[in-house]
Amino acid sequence: TNFHVVQGADRITGTVGGRPYAGQLVGYDRKRDVAVVQLIGAAGLPVAPIGDVNVLAPGEPVVALGNAMGTEAPLTREAGTLTAFGRTVEAEDTLTGTTDEL
């Protein structure tokens, strides 16, 4: 998940197939805004392959999965094309007015 999603959380919960699991933060990279969460007691779940940045090139298709409206909203999928590496983008949260660097 993204680090900003779990940053400062007192409790992490992940739901798979309607079943909730307690989550444990295993590691994170604040600069890259990525975090690894282990779902305690979960086993046999499907695994999504993660691309290797060393073999990706601009022009290749990419997919982003998210839950933009919070925990109750359905998972969303956005497809796009990789355009470049090393860009800095600022995104504004329209609900809070805060801006994050991505």
- pLDDT tens digits for 42-99? 999 888 777 787 888 999 998 887 776 666 677 788 899 999 888 888 888 777 778 8
Burial 35-72 (b: 16+ CB within 10 A, else e): bebebeeeeeeeeeeeeeeeeeeeeeeeeeeeeeeeee
- 25 shares a domain with 3: yes
Residues facing residue 81 across a β-bridge: 61
Segment 11-19 shows an average pLDDT of: 90
Residues facing residue 63 across a β-bridge: 79
User: Is 85 among the domain residues?
Assistant: yes
Task: Check residue 11 and give its pLDDT.
Answer: 95
Task: Check residue 18 and give its pLDDT.
Answer: 87
Give the domain extent around 16.
Answer: 1-41
- 24 shares a domain with 66: no
Residues facing residue 76 across a β-bridge: 66
